[in-house]
């Protein structure tokens, strides 16, 4: 169990404990899955007041409603957290996403459409747009500026847009690690480390699936996780069925066994990605009884993100008339 | 430093004891009630109807300051103006302040944490106040015992 003595969060944690009650339970998600049509499933979202404008939207606006709901979480945290900047590292991925959009638009001479931009971000997309026009990035953090520079340089040599993704993803994780170590909170560092470890495992699995070599893989690997480059070099030589052995002594041993089991039966990595999400949710559950500290707030943010992911899975499934069981299989564990 | 050898030393020790008993328990209770109040405000922002259970849970750690007040009062009662206490009595009165001061401080702060947890219980289930109160009262017992010990020691002065 995770316990903190940081009493400055006393107000915020209590408020979160009340608000948590309104998170969608497994029952509500079941009701959505069992709804006769996508419209009926959407009605459930209206009932629970999802987003800001669900009542005057149609089922095809669900994506906007989900974004609004996440915006609500962001605004709440900014309002109640004694130090809102502690949450920067959880929103900075949207900045990196936006930077990628601008970079790719810039390098292919296209305009940026608002629909591709992610919210909420630390730097407003409009401001980033201005920076790209003037080519002055001085206001951004150093890691971002360096990554942008590296992208321009790499692109001028090879003109391969995939390089932008590689450079930006690595910079994102480096940035998250840097912000986490500045905070010095064990729980948050743990989350960042787990994210890096699982992202790296995902990269290894995908590289093997598309039959690429170590040289290809090496450039994608993200530094800063629990394992060094040697670990992945060894791992890369293993067959999928032997992966659990490599992780046997680590916290991921169960996850590795279950993932490879799921891969064996389904021949896809969807099961693995679901297990990764469930792994995180189970970590979050450790903060359920914490009375002070930032942890319950972080948990709310990430649990809410997971909830929105679940609702998205259901809505996509309902709109595409998927069978109920198929949707249910893809659902992530719920926090509440 | 002449007074340390003079007639007043006993009286000064007793006064120090009275101050010690109340200052420590007062700080402990203030911290605990303060943090429970913050937690309570968080719940009430979302659900003002839970005011009564939240208020009761918030008030629980204030009793330690009352115990400190009682001891301080009894010690001061032993001091008679114009009749200096002898050194032995003064020392006993000072020592009498230690149990309630130290145990009262610690139990107030820790009871405050239980109160916050109880307020979180109320946040989840409106009818769980009694359970929260009982859990917090478990901590109260130690403050009461320290109060009794302090009173017994004062009786020997």
Chain A residues with CB under 8 Å of B47 CB are: 18
What CA–CA distance (Å, rounded) separates B72 from B68? 6
- Domain for residue A321, yes or no? no
Tell which residue, B11, B22, B14, has the closest CA to residue B94: B14
Domain ranges of chain B: 2-154
Chain B residues with CB under 8 Å of A289 CB are: 117
Helix B63-77 and helix B104-124: axis angle, to 10°?
160
Q: Which domain range does residue A116 map to?
A: 89-184
pLDDT of B1 over the 60 cut: no
Residue A280: per-residue pLDDT: 95
- Domain for residue A1, yes or no? no
Token pair of A201 as six digits: 């495992």
What CA–CA distance (Å, rounded) separates B51 from B138? 23
Measure in Å the smallest separation between the Cα of B37 and chain A Cα atoms.
8
Tell which residue, A165, A218, A199, has the closest CA to residue A279: A199
Of A10, A17, A289, the CB nearest to B123: A17
- Domain for residue A165, yes or no? yes
Tell which residue, A24, A51, A12, has the closest CA to residue A297: A12
Residues belonging to chain A with any Cβ–Cβ distance to chain B shorter than 8 Å: 7, 10-19, 21, 80, 289, 291-292
Q: Residue A191 — pLDDT band, cuts 50, 70, 90? A: very high
pLDDT of B6 over the 80 cut: no
What CA–CA distance (Å, rounded) separates A270 from A267? 9
Digit-coded pLDDT (tens) for A278-336:
999 999 999 999 999 999 999 999 999 999 999 999 999 999 999 999 999 999 999 98
Size of interface A-B (CB pairs under 8 A): 54
Q: How far is CA A80 from CA A157, B45, B93, in A?
A: 47, 11, 47
pLDDT of A171 over the 70 cut: yes
Q: Residue A106 — pLDDT band, cuts 50, 70, 90? A: confident
- Domain for residue A309, yes or no? no
**Which three-class secondary structure state does DSSP give residue A154?**
helix
**Which three-class secondary structure state does DSSP give residue A292?**
coil
Residue A53: per-residue pLDDT: 82
- Please indicate whether, in this complex, the C-beta atoms of A10 and B124 are within 8 angstroms of each other: no
Digit-coded pLDDT (tens) for A248-258:
989 999 999 99
- Please indicate whether, in this complex, the C-beta atoms of B45 and A12 are within 8 angstroms of each other: no
- Domain for residue A324, yes or no? no
Residue B134: per-residue pLDDT: 96
- Number of Cβ within a 10 Å radius of residue A223: 12
Residue A139: per-residue pLDDT: 86
pLDDT of A87 over the 90 cut: yes
Residue A2: per-residue pLDDT: 62
Chain A residues with CB under 8 Å of B116 CB are: 10, 14, 291-292
pLDDT, mean of residues A117-121:
87
Residue A264: per-residue pLDDT: 87
Looking at the structure of chain A, the number of domains it has is 1
Could you please state the CATH topology (level 3) that the domain comprising B2-154 is classified under.
1.20.120
- Domain for residue A125, yes or no? yes
Of A13, A18, A289, the CB nearest to B46: A18
Higher-confidence residue of B6 and A205: namely A205
pLDDT, mean of residues A47-56:
85
pTM, full prediction:
0.90
Q: How far is CA B113 from CA A58, A299, A301, B26, B109, in A?
A: 47, 20, 24, 17, 7
This complex has an ipTM of 0.86
B134 Cβ contact partners less than 8 Å away, ≥ 6 residues apart? none
R_g of chain B, CA atoms, integer Å? 19
- Domain for residue A153, yes or no? yes
Measure in Å the smallest separation between the Cα of A292 and chain B Cα atoms.
9
Residue B5, chain A, CB below 8 Å: the answer is no
Tell which residue, A252, A260, A258, A210, has the closest CA to residue A231: A252
Tokens 């979202």 map to which residue? A45
- Domain for residue A318, yes or no? no
Chain B residues with CB under 8 Å of A11 CB are: 38-39, 41-42
- Residue B80: phi, psi to the nearest 5? -110, 130
Which residue of B39, B110, B112, B118 to mutate against A (max A Cβ within 10 Å)? B39
pLDDT, mean of residues A238-261:
91
- Number of Cβ within a 10 Å radius of residue A129: 18
Q: How far is CA A180 from CA A84, A88, A176, B121, in A?
A: 14, 9, 6, 31
Q: How far is CA A227 from CA A196, A255, A266, A335, in A?
A: 10, 16, 28, 28
Token pair of A147 as six digits: 């990554």
Residue of A nearest to B37 (CA): A11
Token pair of B54 as six digits: 């939240």
Tokens 């279950």 map to which residue? A258
């Amino acid at each position: 169990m995770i316990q903190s003595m940081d009493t400055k969060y006393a107000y915020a944690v209590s408020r979160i404990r009340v608000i948590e009650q309104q998170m969608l339970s497994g029952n509500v998600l079941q009701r959505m899955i069992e709804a006769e049509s996508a419209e009926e499933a959407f009605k459930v979202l209206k009932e629970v007041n999802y987003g800001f404008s669900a009542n005057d939207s149609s089922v095809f606006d669900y994506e906007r409603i989900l974004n609004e709901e996440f915006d609500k979480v962001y605004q709440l945290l900014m309002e109640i957290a004694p130090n809102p900047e502690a949450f920067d590292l959880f929103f900075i991925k949207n900045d990196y996403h936006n930077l990628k959009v601008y970079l790719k638009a810039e390098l292919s001479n296209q305009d940026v459409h608002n629909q591709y931009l992610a919210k909420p971000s630390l730097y407003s997309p409009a401001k980033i747009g201005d920076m790209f026009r003037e080519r002055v990035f001085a206001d951004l953090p150093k890691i971002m500026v360096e990554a942008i520079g590296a992208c321009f340089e790499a692109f001028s040599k090879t003109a391969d847009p995939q390089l932008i993704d590689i450079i930006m993803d690595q910079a994102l994780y480096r940035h998250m690690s840097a912000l986490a170590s500045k905070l010095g909170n064990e729980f948050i560092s743990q989350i960042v480390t787990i994210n890096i470890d699982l992202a790296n495992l995902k990269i290894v699995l995908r590289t093997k699936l598309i039959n690429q070599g170590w040289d290809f893989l090496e450039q994608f690997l993200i530094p800063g996780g629990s394992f060094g480059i040697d670990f992945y070099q060894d791992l890369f030589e293993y067959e999928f069925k032997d992966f659990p052995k490599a992780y046997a002594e680590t916290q991921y041993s169960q996850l590795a066994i279950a993932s490879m089991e799921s891969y064996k039966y389904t021949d896809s990595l969807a099961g693995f990605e679901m297990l990764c999400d469930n792994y995180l949710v189970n970590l979050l559950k450790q903060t359920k009884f914490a009375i002070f500290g930032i942890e319950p707030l972080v948990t709310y943010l990430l649990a809410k993100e997971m909830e929105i992911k679940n609702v998205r899975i259901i809505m996509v499934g309902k709109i595409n008339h998927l069978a109920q069981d198929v949707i249910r299989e893809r659902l992530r564990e719920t926090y509440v | 430093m002449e007074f340390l050898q003079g007639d007043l030393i006993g009286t000064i020790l007793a006064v120090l004891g009275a101050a010690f008993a109340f200052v420590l328990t007062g700080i402990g209770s203030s911290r605990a009630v303060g943090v429970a109040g913050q937690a309570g405000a968080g719940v009430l922002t979302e659900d003002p109807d839970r005011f009564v259970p939240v208020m009761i849970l918030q008030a629980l750690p204030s009793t330690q300051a009352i115990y400190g007040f009682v001891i301080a009062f009894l010690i001061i009662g032993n001091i008679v103006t114009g009749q200096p206490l002898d050194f032995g009595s003064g020392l006993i009165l000072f020592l009498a302040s230690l149990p309630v001061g130290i145990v009262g401080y610690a139990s107030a702060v820790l009871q405050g944490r239980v109160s916050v947890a109880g307020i979180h219980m109320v946040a989840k289930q409106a009818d769980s106040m009694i359970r929260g109160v009982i859990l917090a009262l478990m901590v109260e017992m130690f403050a009461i015992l320290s109060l009794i010990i302090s009173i017994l020691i004062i009786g020997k002065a």
